[in-house]
Structure 1
Amino acid sequence: MQSHFDSNGRTYSGQVVLVTGGTRGIGRAIAMAFLERGATVLVCGRKPPEEPVAAGGRRAAFIRADVRDAEQVQALYAAIQQQHGRLDILVNNAGGSPHVMAADASPRLTASIIALNLTAPLLLAQGAYALMAGQGGVILFIGSVSALRPSPGTAAYGAAKAGIVNLVRSLAVEWAPRVRVAAVSPGLVLTDEALSHYGDESRLDAVGATIPLGRLAQPEEIASACLYLASPAAAYASGCNLVLDGGGERPAFLAAANPAA
């Protein structure tokens, strides 16, 4: 994939980027980061954003699509092919899960969580590869630290994200060298969803204090990682999983062994 630099020093001018779930949260920040650097950005979701996704004096185009539906994904890529004739970067961001203990999760809910967080990203990657195979490109998956540690209350989500880590490694082998595949796995991120979940700033501060860097990540910091991995600066990064968790979690046994610390 070629890098494009214009007179303003923007690095993604001339490239077409699709960000799934790009209307809010981390996805919105990613879409805005690519817009600021000159890319033509498309975002998709089940409903349009309340406010357009815009940055750098430019807007992302919205395409309505439920990424769990194979026919809608096919129509999504047909529209991209018709309107732009190419796709250079896919950021597989759409995902999520309600909080429910594993013993209480219905089969239907579990299947829905797996479909959104594992099956849909694979389906989207397959469609992107069909457009990229002849020209080259980059496919990024937004994973989660839930793939790498216990995920109580979101067990199916954590299992699906663990599947993403393996999927990235497998696709990186199958689709090299024309298409690079990589993952970014955030820890806790300060989004509107996080604010509503924890309720107030004091609780967010308490949660942030458990992280070595002392705070939750900003969505823009996840976006910066995507800008790097999609760029020629990361030309040898494929099959990798970039974990952004602020240093991880302090081991509980250390606090138990030395409460004063």
Structure 2
Amino acid sequence: MSERRILITGASSGIGAATARAMAVPGASIAVHCRANRAGAEAVAVELRAAGAAALVLQGDLADPDTPARLVAEAVDAFGGLEVVVANAGFADRTALAEMTDETFARSADAVLWGFMRLARAAGPHLQRAGREGGLARLVAVSSFVAHLFRTDTALFPASAAAKAGVEALARSLAVEWAPDVTVNAVVPGFTRKDPGTHVALEPAAWDAILARIPLRRLGQPADVAAAVAFLASPGAGYVTGQCLHVSGGVVI
């Protein structure tokens, strides 16, 4: 477990950064990916090294068709292989369908769904090899409650919902295709706090109203989601595959 080689996309802040911290143990090698926030990714890498892990910062836009394969290749070149990939990169888009252009919809599809597919396709041979050689090979996708919660009193994210639903369906397909060498699962965060200074899709007043709809009466923390990702990547989740684990305080029941 401690010597595993890990790639985490969207890891310069929030859930991705918390996941990197949760998996940083002596002997681990973690590739921290960012799209634009290089400074944030470098700061996370410093924390990982302080915890005894090796850390590598990778940068690129997953909407670019060539980026996912390049990230995998750079991580494999640096670490000699991969056992764990966490596909976390993405964003929330509240654009209503009536206002949505083809380009707007494609932006979510390219970065989230196509980005995940290309990342999985590139990482698959490395993960399968690791699994056949006795390693704990894991692919974990970070989805979102927006693919499950559709109500008149809750903000809707049509493009994001479609992209994340596709990610979950693809994860289930891969769980069958890659068994028994690799387990493939998704974590489904609910309303989760963002790091200060990062993009927030809702206004403060909207966040306050949301609390009443969450049974546990609080917003999630990135560490809540990171703990679930770390579990699915752990030896304890060796008999879990093709599942979507909701970490939402009960907002989706």
TM bin (shorter chain): 0.7 to 0.9
User: Which residue does 1:108 correspond to in 2?
Assistant: 103
The yes-or-no answer on 1:207 pairing with 2:210 is yes
User: Which residue does 1:46 correspond to in 2?
Assistant: 35
Could you list the runs of 5+ residues in structure 2 that have no partner in the other structure? 132-136
For 1:38 and 1:215, how far apart are their aligned partners in 2? 35
User: Which residue does 2:60 correspond to in 1?
Assistant: 65
For 2:192 and 2:139, how far apart are their aligned partners in 1? 22
Shift of 1:37: 6.5
Could you list the runs of 5+ residues in structure 1 that have no partner in the other structure? 5-12, 251-261
Shift of 1:138: 0.3
In structure 2, the CA distance between the partners of 1:37 and 1:109, relative to structure 1 (3 Å rule), is farther
- Of 50-59 and 231-240, the range deviating more from structure 2: 50-59
- The TM-score with structure 1 as length reference comes to 0.84
Shift of 1:149: 2.3
The yes-or-no answer on 1:96 pairing with 2:91 is yes
Higher Rg: 1
Shift of 1:203: 5.3
The residue type paired with residue 112 of structure 2 is: N
The yes-or-no answer on 1:141 pairing with 2:141 is yes
User: Which residue does 2:122 correspond to in 1?
Assistant: 127
The yes-or-no answer on 1:226 pairing with 2:229 is yes
Please, which of 20, 29, 36 is the counterpart of residue 18 of structure 2?
29
The residue type paired with residue 170 of structure 2 is: L
In structure 2, the CA distance between the partners of 1:111 and 1:203, relative to structure 1 (3 Å rule), is closer
User: Which residue does 1:256 correspond to in 2?
Assistant: none
Please, which of 235, 238, 244 is the counterpart of residue 238 of structure 2?
235
Shift of 1:205: 3.9
Native 8 Å contact 1:31 1:41 kept in 2: yes
The residue type paired with residue 139 of structure 1 is: L
User: Which residue does 1:15 correspond to in 2?
Assistant: 4
For 1:160 and 1:198, how far apart are their aligned partners in 2? 19
Native 8 Å contact 2:146 2:156 kept in 1: no
The residue type paired with residue 30 of structure 2 is: V
- Of 231-240 and 39-48, the range deviating more from structure 2: 39-48
Shift of 1:180: 0.7
- SS of the aligned residue for 1:121 comes to helix
Native 8 Å contact 2:143 2:167 kept in 1: yes
- Of 75-84 and 54-63, the range deviating more from structure 2: 54-63
For 1:217 and 1:36, how far apart are their aligned partners in 2? 24
Q: How many residues in Structure 1 have an aligned counterpart in Structure 2?
A: 238
For 1:233 and 1:182, how far apart are their aligned partners in 2? 14
For 1:101 and 1:107, how far apart are their aligned partners in 2? 12
Shift of 1:165: 1.6
Shift of 1:61: 1.7
Native 8 Å contact 2:94 2:201 kept in 1: no
User: What are the superposed Cα offsets for residues 108-158 of structure 1, whole Å, 9 maximum, x if unpaired?
Assistant: 111111111111111101111121121211000001111112275410110
In structure 2, the CA distance between the partners of 1:74 and 1:55, relative to structure 1 (3 Å rule), is closer
The yes-or-no answer on 1:187 pairing with 2:190 is yes
CA RMSD, 1 decimal: 2.2
Shift of 1:74: 2.2
For 1:208 and 1:38, how far apart are their aligned partners in 2? 40
Shift of 1:56: 6.8
- The TM-score with structure 2 as length reference comes to 0.86
User: Which residue does 1:150 correspond to in 2?
Assistant: 150
